Amino acid sequence: MSYGKFLDESGDLNEWRKKINLPDQHYEKTFADLRDIWIKDNRYSELIAFIHENWDSGQWDEFFEPLEKHLIENKLEKEFIKFWKGILRHRFSSLWDWNKEFGRKTEYWDGSKKTFECQKLTLEGLYRFKQGLVELGAEQEIQKTNELIKTVDKLEKPKPKRTTDKRKIDENVFWELIKLNREKSEDKFDFIENLSNQLEEFKPTEIKRFERTFLSKYNELNRWEIWALAYIVRRGCGDDAFDYFKAWVISKGQEAFEDVKNLKVSELKKHFDEDPQLEEMFSLAENVYENKTGELMSPVRVKKQKLTGKQWEEESLEKDFPEIWKIFEHKITAPNIGYK
């Protein structure tokens, strides 16, 4: 998604240069110019996704250095961690694949050289990641990174922590876990901690199944009408806030999910007893997997669903959604923050 968008805007940038009679330039310079524009416009998530979508073997280091520097200087710890963990997943995957399948020497092939190259690249990334964490003061992540460095240095995968729950996480178990941990939690942050602790009792493969179910349910909420609900409830809701809204809806359990998904107006208000934002759901399975195995979880792929339904304008929300507007009686005072 971000890869195509970056290429499209690169083409637009070149066309703009032609219109004002600027000389042609190599695509790498255009990429760098667009990178700087995205950084200036705070389009971090899109730029990080673009870099992640281009497999990393060290050749992107020069390209992403300005982004890395910007994230550290502006104390954007969350974005910095997301950025580097995505890169390191590629490197870990290559390292273990080469070490397992080709990390041996035969009469015709010395796979150990390739393993060494992958090990060196992965360690370089880990130390660079750690240096940024030190500058950001992210102590917990520094400890995890130190363990990963030991793992790569020894070329020994740590054994996963003991599994006590042998169930497979299908959709029923997924909702059961959400329900049980919501019921015993005082708030949404307590819920994240309790759910994380219970999820760690499952096999690593089931933790990934949990993530796949979460992402699938998240996609089901990708509708303009639900975005309108989020906008009305929160007095404004941009792209990222809508993502966190959908994650929160899932965290409230199956009943809330179905009521919001189907916009059951008469049932909506009872579910909104806290700020409907829960960004932490996006990193929950990943963190649990890391704590259990000592490894970074490979990306879980689900088919992304495009935004469906009828697009709306901020000025017409009261007219287009009168029942929802009346339930959450207030005036929208937030500026237009780019939901189009």
- Identify whether the C-beta of residue 266 lies closer than 8 Å to the C-beta of residue 185: no
Which range has the worst mean pLDDT, 36-40, 63-67, 234-238, 260-264? 234-238
Q: What is the pLDDT confidence band of residue 104, given thresholds at 50, 70 and 90? A: low
What pLDDT, on a 0 to 100 scale, did the predictor assign at position 57?
59
DSSP state for residue 273 in the 8-state scheme: S
DSSP line for 134-157: HHHT-HHHHHHHHHHHHHHHHT-P
pLDDT at 101 over 70: no
User: ∠ CA(38), CA(218), CA(52), 5° rounding?
Assistant: 35
Q: What is the pLDDT confidence band of residue 74, given thresholds at 50, 70 and 90? A: very high
What pLDDT, on a 0 to 100 scale, did the predictor assign at position 102?
57
The closest of 83, 81, 114, 82 to 97, measured between CA atoms, is 114
pLDDT at 109 over 80: no
Give long-range contacts, CB 8 A cutoff, 24+ apart: 64-72: 66/35, 66/36, 66/39, 67/35, 67/39, 68/132, 70/39, 71/44, 71/132, 72/132, 72/135, 72/136
Which range has the worst mean pLDDT, 68-82, 134-148, 297-311? 297-311
Q: Return the axis-axis angle of helices 27-40 and 2-19, rounded to nearest 10°.
A: 110
pLDDT single digits (tens) 181-229: 999 988 888 899 899 999 999 999 999 999 999 999 999 999 999 999 9
Q: Helix (H, G, I), strand (E, B), or coil: what is residue 297?
A: coil
Average pLDDT, the chain: 87
Q: Who has greater pLDDT, 329 or 181?
A: 181
pLDDT single digits (tens) 36-54: 999 999 999 889 888 887 6
pLDDT at 26 over 50: yes
| CB-based burial, 286-318: b 16+ in 10 Å, e otherwise | bbbbbbbbbbbbeebeeeeeeeeeeebebeebe
DSSP state for residue 308 in the 8-state scheme: B
In whole angstroms, give the CA distance from residue 311 to residue 224.
6
Dihedrals phi, psi of 105, to nearest 5 degrees:
-110, 130
Extents of the domains making up the chain: 2-154, 171-327
Q: What is the pLDDT confidence band of residue 170, given thresholds at 50, 70 and 90? A: very high
In whole angstroms, give the CA distance from residue 186 to residue 165.
24
pTM over 0.75: no
Quote the percentage of the chain above a pLDDT of 70: 90
Which range has the worst mean pLDDT, 25-34, 88-97, 186-195? 88-97
Burial of 41 (0-12, 13-18, 19+ CB in 10 A): exposed
In whole angstroms, give the CA distance from residue 74 to residue 150.
30
- Identify whether the C-beta of residue 293 lies closer than 8 Å to the C-beta of residue 206: no
Q: What is the pLDDT confidence band of residue 2, given thresholds at 50, 70 and 90? A: low
pLDDT at 337 over 50: no
